[in-house]
């Protein structure tokens, strides 16, 4: 039990494997006698690459492991993402549009502007436009920073769109050349366990036995360590989140200088939704749908109609997945990170965020010995069970507020498919807007502003008139509304077009600070 953890073995590459390797190897890089990291990946397992969007958290992750923003942009065909734009989610009409910006509502958390927006009849603007300048920046096609802005700093909050395969390659190169990660290219064919139930070693096809003290399962949906070897059950959430399929394609631009949207476009469809992501030389599009409500043929036809006849996509690709997560992410001396731990759906790009969060928590609370491992696992599992549940609530929120008439959307509104925790929150929000009281835990990944953007973007009705007692600081609220307007005007003049900035980064790179 007092045995030290010297050898970390990661099974599986891709973004989850190499992000985990980088975060752990960077933590231990300057520590004498620290654990060594070995990553085993099979060249026969393709990268799933579901979704090509990240959260702003990725900036801290890349800075932490030592990858420059210039390298990310130039080597991964990355662009900036400031928001998600939802089209057709409420009624399907052409005017049915709202934004979920990465910027928090102005003044948050000092003041909750939702109350003032809802009760001030003089504010003639959508909720996101009233409380954040980012909707306007997106509509103008502006970037979130200047070429002279320091790497990973911003003038408006942002994450990235990127080529997932090239991103994994950049991470791999960085791990092997800068972080001393040992790499074995081989296929795991067997897993050895000891009497105590811990994994003692994995057996590969050509390198025979690889021993370790802590094993990280990044083997994707197959979950060969946590799921198969340790028999941790998969908890399906298909009764809540219906989508289980996606058909994807790469779509070339009509011209080399075509503008690049600085947001993810999410367009509602009869049995799901289509993502549309702009990279420098192409768009990544995909129809996410429920196979119970739509056939593959119908989905492909719907995606082709969305793309139109002017653009000819590359070969269509079908991806199948199950919404849900493992009962626990950490059992004995095995931690699952990425798809091996669970996956919900591409909406709101939470997959890479879960990878970052899990790898960071593991590094920050790394078990020094086997004796400390159970308490580390208990904290880790508590955190991620909570996070799975709350993210499921947030994703489901997008579906339950729709007024669309197709069977898929009607089924999503059935009470039996809505978690009781979300039902309780929706009942509360009829009388007051979401606030920090609803998200008191540090484990909450989506905070009150995100819920407000979706709620009021989709026309949810809060009885603001009954909450007049909350308007105890109108002067401060008006100050923040004015500041938002001033910020928008200044940034609209100062910021470059998105493609203009991307082209400059490719030509010059960011200045070294």
- Per 3-state DSSP, the chain is made up of helix, strand and coil in percentages (nearest 5) of 40, 20, 40
DSSP-H helix ranges across 308-433:
351-364, 373-400, 407-412, 420-428
Backbone angles phi, psi at 15, to 5 degrees: -65, -40
117 close to 127: Cβ distance less than 8 angstroms: yes
Tokens of 129: 């436009």
Tokens of 391: 């993210």
Backbone angles phi, psi at 359, to 5 degrees: -65, -40
Q: Which residues contact 192 (CB under 8 A, 6 or more apart)?
A: 199, 200, 201, 202, 203, 209
Whole-Å CA distances, 272 to 90, 136, 225, 306, 402: 13, 27, 32, 13, 12
- How is residue 7 annotated by DSSP? E
Phi-psi region for residue 372, left (φ > 0), alpha (ψ -120 to 50) or beta? alpha
From CA 131, how far away is CA 110, in angstroms rounded?
13
The active-site residue, picked from 27, 81, 85, 182, is 81
Could you tell me how far CA 329 lies from the centroid of its own chain?
18
Which one, of 411, 361, 402, lies nearest residue 87 by Cα?
A: 402
Residue bearing tokens 């081989």: 186
Tokens of 415: 């009470």
User: Is residue 81 flagged as an active site residue?
Assistant: yes
Residue 497 three-state SS? strand
Which stretches does DSSP call E strand in 1-77?
A: 7-11, 36-41
The catalytic residues are 81
């Amino acid at each position: 039990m007092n045995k030290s953890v010297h050898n970390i073995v990661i099974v599986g590459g891709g973004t989850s494997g190499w992000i985990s390797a980088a975060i752990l190897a960077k933590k231990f890089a300057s520590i004498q006698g620290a654990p060594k990291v070995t990553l085993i990946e099979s060249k026969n397992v393709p990268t799933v690459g579901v979704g090509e969007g990240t959260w702003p958290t990725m900036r801290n992750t890349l800075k932490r492991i030592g990858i420059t923003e210039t390298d990310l942009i130039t080597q991964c065909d990355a662009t900036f993402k400031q928001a998600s734009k939802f089209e057709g989610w409420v009624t399907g009409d052409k005017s049915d549009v709202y934004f979920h910006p990465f910027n928090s509502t102005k003044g948050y958390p000092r003041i909750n502007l939702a109350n003032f927006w809802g009760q001030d009849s003089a504010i003639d603007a959508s909720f996101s436009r009233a409380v954040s300048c980012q909707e306007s920046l997106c509509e103008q096609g502006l970037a979130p920073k200047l070429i002279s802005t320091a790497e990973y700093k911003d003038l408006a909050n942002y994450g990235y769109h990127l080529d997932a395969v090239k991103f994994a390659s950049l991470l791999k190169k960085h791990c092997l050349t800068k972080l001393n990660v040992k790499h074995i290219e081989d296929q795991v064919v067997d897993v050895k366990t000891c009497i105590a139930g811990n994994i003692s070693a994995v057996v590969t096809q050509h390198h025979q036995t690889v021993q370790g003290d802590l094993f990280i399962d990044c083997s994707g949906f197959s979950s060969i360590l946590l799921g198969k070897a340790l028999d941790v059950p998969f908890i399906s959430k298909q009764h809540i989140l219906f989508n289980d399929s996606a058909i994807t394609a790469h779509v070339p631009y009509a011209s080399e200088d075509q503008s690049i949207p600085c947001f993810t476009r999410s367009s509602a469809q009869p049995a799901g939704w289509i993502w549309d992501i702009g990279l420098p030389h192409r768009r990544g599009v995909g129809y996410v749908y429920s196979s119970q409500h739509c056939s593959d043929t119908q989905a492909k036809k719907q995606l082709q109609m969305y793309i139109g006849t002017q653009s000819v996509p590359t070969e269509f690709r079908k991806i199948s997945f199950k919404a849900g997560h493992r009962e626990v992410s950490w059992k004995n001396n095995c931690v699952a990170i990425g798809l091996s731990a669970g996956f919900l759906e591409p909406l709101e790009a939470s997959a890479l965020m879960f990878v970052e969060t899990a790898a960071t928590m593991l590094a920050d609370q790394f078990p020094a010995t086997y004796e400390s491992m159970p308490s580390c696992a208990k904290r880790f599992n508590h955190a991620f069970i909570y996070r799975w549940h709350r993210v499921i609530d947030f994703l489901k929120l997008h579906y339950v507020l729709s007024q669309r008439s197709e069977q898929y959307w009607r089924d999503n509104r059935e009470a039996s498919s809505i978690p009781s925790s979300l039902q309780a929150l929706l009942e509360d929000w009829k009388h007051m807007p979401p606030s920090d009281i609803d998200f008191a835990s540090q484990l909450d990944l989506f905070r009150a502003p995100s819920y407000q953007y979706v709620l009021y973007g989709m026309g949810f009705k809060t009885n603001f008139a009954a909450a007049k007692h909350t308007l105890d600081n109108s002067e401060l609220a008006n100050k923040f509304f004015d500041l938002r307007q001033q910020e928008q005007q200044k940034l609209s003049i100062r910021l470059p077009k998105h493609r203009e900035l991307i082209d400059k980064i490719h030509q010059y790179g960011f200045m070294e600070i």
